């Protein structure tokens, strides 16, 4: 029995985007879905109740960070991540691969895995496919990820080729180590940088192993939106339609729409929570930088058309005051708003797919948000 | 018409403590009451909804801090502090006197008020009785405080005498400036340091002016608990029984009980919120320092007998992890718990008064909490 399945409900006649529902041992969620990031077993500043209140149905947590703090053994003793953080709905954990390659300056890649130093205290750590799976078993997420190498943005074609081959071998090793396929679904990660040849090779090799889901990794690392969409155009057609497709680390509003149009079912990104902590909020008419003096006496909600708890209750002037004073409630209010904004965007995307009008929705959204062709921001 | 009145329900036969209910334009609260401190128009880390959820009925906010950020004119434009922070229940604002004398190193005291420097940017500011009342009119709290001088802990008898006389003249000036007695109640503040003679003089002079409430100020500034209780024993008998009595800046569990036993109706203190941000929590069996390693795998709630949202949902191990990782949710959970702890203590004190057994309750509470005669902590 496979732990996680996707029910494909329909495709958008205008774009080919997929409307679906993913079923997991901790409940279902509608796709295309955005997963808020709870790196250290908490979506920064938010309680589980608040996440449920704004209709979050799945969150992501980071294996590497939980390995360091509090340690996966503590989470196992607590009864897994769901019990530890008291989040009753689906969780996806990444494999730690991305963090090993992005956070750790000193590392040595071998066939068995990666020797690197803990970015907090410099301790030596080894992480390979077997370790990544063992840790993710301890964490107990519904969806777990294969250990992969995320090659540097500027890697040579020959390095990418070797890296993709290794990532495929590691995916096989993960599959062998994964003894709990009935309760946790192991997704493979297609790598290959910006090389169409290597992306195709990676997708072909991994789909041959029939994983219950496929991610596209190694993106959102500095490439242009055009390059990102180009990789999706190369890879997605090679993925099986009966499996969920997850675009890792991408969550700007434009990329969520463009990704959905290219057949992506799941997304995650720290964007909404990270920019919230700097006081930047997304609204139906574009971004606001709330610390600006122009909002000091602005007693309107952040977004008059928004139904989030922040906009239902508080003014721009109050939130700005809290942000300026360094009050925690300020970043709580902006975080709730931004996560709600992306969850609402996904609901609107799903509704547009249901009505075969995602391309029209994209035009309307971009116009209201102030986006244009070649727009690079969020 | 007086904006704020106290209804005296009964006195404890065992101790003389008062059980009452204070009525304000924004509703009533039971006394003895603890007021959580919302310095900058927010009880640090908490939302108004959460405060209501743990049954907070009145909060305190600080005039001096709001004068600097966001400015009382912004709060006035928002429609007052209740509207600005969306807190529908009673609010008390202090006069700024305490902060002027405790936060500002450079100051010059004149008959009209105090010239001092903004502790954030060094700007020159002048605050006197008229200014303090004008600002508190803009803030619109239900209970506002007279502008007073909080003399230094080590001031000479002659300095304290001059300071008390000036505080009395400032109280008269506040009364003259206060044109909104029907919507905001102006409380006077008894000063006099540790001098019984000056405390008596201050109480006599101020009660002669018939304020709708009286505070005892200048305490919790380094004196011993015995000295604190000595001042209460001197002052409280001189205060009119038909007016609320407010002990400023005191909120340790033992002092709340001892203060109630001496006839105090209202208290405020940053203690529960401040220690929460360091990871210290109060429980029915004493304090816990949650960052300690002994809690890393402790999957019990902070206090098994506690009904707060934190204890109903989360474990010591999870809260400790969040605190160690610097996650905002950690200090949210400890803050909610600590404020709930003191609000519950006040409810238990009121129930003990109702049953004429506050002295017995004190013995039971102290024994469970690990306090003893001469205990100096919290």
B36-52: per-residue pLDDT in tens? Answer: 999 999 999 999 999 99
B297 contact residues in A (CB cutoff 8 A): 74, 77
Q: Is the pLDDT of residue B61 over 80?
A: yes
Q: Residues 6 or more apart from A249 whose CB is under 8 A from it?
A: A98, A217, A219, A220, A221, A268, A269
Work out the average pLDDT over B145-173: 94
Q: How many residues does chain B have?
A: 378
A37-40 contacts, C-beta under 8 A, 24 or more apart: A37/A61, A37/A62, A37/A268, A37/A269, A37/A270, A37/A273, A38/A85, A38/A87, A39/A65, A39/A270, A40/A65, A40/A66, A40/A69, A40/B321, A40/B322, A40/B325, A40/B327
Strand (E) positions, B139-209? Answer: 143-145, 185-190
B303, B287 contact by CB (below 8 A): no
Work out the average pLDDT over B335-351: 98
Inter-chain residue contact A318 with B78, CB threshold 8 Å: yes
What are the pLDDT digits (tens) for B250-259? 999 999 999 9
B266, B239 contact by CB (below 8 A): no
Of A41, A70, A327, the CB nearest to B42: A327
pLDDT at A375: 52
Task: Give the SS3 label for residue B351.
Answer: helix
Catalytic residue among B94, B148, B265, B303: B94
Round to whole Å and give the CA distance between A164 and B112: 78
Query: Which residue does chain A place closest to B41, by CA atoms?
Result: A322
Inter-chain residue contact B329 with A47, CB threshold 8 Å: yes
Q: Is the pLDDT of residue B376 over 60?
A: no
B51 membership: H or E segment, kind and range: helix B48-53
Q: How many residues does chain A have?
A: 378
B141: closest CA among B95, B105, B195?
B95
pLDDT at B101: 85
pLDDT at A104: 72
Inter-chain residue contact A40 with B297, CB threshold 8 Å: no
A298 is a catalytic site residue: no
Round to whole Å and give the CA distance between B331 and B215: 31
Inter-chain residue contact A40 with B325, CB threshold 8 Å: yes
What are the pLDDT digits (tens) for B79-128? 999 999 999 999 999 999 899 888 877 789 999 999 999 889 989 999 99
Q: Residues 6 or more apart from B136 whose CB is under 8 A from it?
A: B63, B93, B95, B144, B145, B184
Q: Measure in Å the smallest separation between the Cα of A378 and chain B Cα atoms.
A: 25
Q: Residues 6 or more apart from B364 whose CB is under 8 A from it?
A: none
Q: What is the mean pLDDT of chain B?
A: 96
A210 is a catalytic site residue: no
Higher confidence at residue B300 or residue A103? B300
B189: closest CA among B213, B162, B216?
B216
- CA-derived radius of gyration, chain A: 20
Strand (E) positions, B25-173? Answer: 27-31, 33-36, 59-61, 91-93, 107-109, 114-117, 124-127, 143-145
pLDDT at B375: 52
Tens-level pLDDT at each residue, chain A (378 residues): 799 999 999 999 999 999 999 999 999 999 999 999 999 999 999 999 999 999 999 999 999 999 999 999 999 999 999 999 999 999 999 999 899 888 877 789 999 999 999 889 989 999 999 999 999 999 999 999 999 999 887 889 999 999 999 999 999 999 999 999 999 999 999 999 999 999 999 999 999 999 999 999 999 998 999 999 999 999 999 999 999 999 999 999 999 999 999 999 999 999 999 999 999 999 999 999 999 999 999 999 999 999 999 999 999 999 999 999 999 999 999 999 999 999 999 999 999 999 999 999 999 999 999 986 555 455
Q: Measure in Å the smallest separation between the Cα of B87 and chain A Cα atoms.
A: 10
Within A96-252, residue ranges assigned H as helices are: 97-103, 129-139, 157-177, 196-207, 225-235
Task: Give the SS3 label for residue A185.
Answer: strand
User: CA neighbours within 13 Å on the CB side: how many for A371?
Assistant: 23
**Residue entry with tokens 């080894």:** A126
Inter-chain residue contact A318 with B46, CB threshold 8 Å: no
Query: Which residue does chain A place closest to B38, by CA atoms?
Result: A327
Work out the average pLDDT over B65-74: 97
pLDDT at A152: 83
pLDDT at B260: 98
């Amino acid at each position: 029995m496979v732990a996680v399945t996707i029910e494909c409900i329909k495709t958008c006649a205008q774009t080919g985007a997929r409307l679906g529902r993913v079923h997991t041992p901790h409940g279902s969620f509608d796709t295309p879905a955005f997963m808020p990031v709870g790196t250290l077993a908490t979506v920064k500043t938010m309680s589980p109740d608040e996440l449920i209140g704004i209709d979050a149905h799945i969150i992501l947590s980071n294996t590497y960070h939980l390995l360091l703090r509090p340690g996966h053994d503590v989470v196992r003793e607590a009864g897994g991540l769901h019990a530890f953080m008291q989040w009753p709905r689906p969780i996806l954990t990444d494999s730690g691969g991305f963090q090993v390659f992005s956070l750790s300056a000193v590392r040595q890649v071998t066939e068995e895995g990666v020797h690197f130093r803990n970015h907090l205290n410099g301790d030596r750590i080894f992480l390979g496919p077997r370790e990544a799976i063992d840790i993710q078993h301890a964490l107990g997420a519904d969806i777990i990820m294969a250990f992969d190498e995320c090659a540097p943005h500027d890697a040579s074609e020959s390095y990418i080729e070797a890296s993709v081959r290794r990532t495929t071998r590691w995916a096989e090793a993960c599959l062998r180590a994964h003894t709990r396929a009935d309760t946790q679904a192991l997704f493979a990660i297609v790598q290959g940088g910006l090389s169409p040849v290597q992306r195709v090779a990676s997708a072909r090799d991994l789909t041959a192993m029939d994983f219950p889901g496929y991610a596209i990794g190694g993106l959102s690392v500095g490439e242009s939106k055009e390059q990102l969409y180009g990789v999706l155009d190369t890879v997605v057609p090679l993925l099986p339609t009966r499996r969920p497709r997850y675009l890792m680390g991408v969550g700007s509003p434009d990329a969520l729409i463009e990704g959905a149009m290219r057949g992506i079912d799941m997304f995650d990104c720290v964007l909404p929570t990270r920019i919230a902590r700097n006081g930047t909020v997304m609204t139906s008419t574009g971004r606001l930088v709330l610390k600006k003096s122009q909002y000091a006496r602005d007693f309107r909600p952040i977004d008059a058309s928004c139904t989030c708890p922040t906009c239902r209750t508080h003014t721009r002037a109050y939130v700005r005051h809290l942000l300026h004073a360094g009050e925690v409630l300020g970043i709580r209010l902006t975080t709730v708003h931004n996560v709600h904004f992306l969850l609402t965007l996904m609901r609107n995307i799903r509704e547009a797919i249901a009505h075969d009008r995602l391309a029209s929705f994209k035009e309307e959204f971009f116009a209201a948000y102030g986006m244009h062709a070649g727009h690079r921001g969020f």
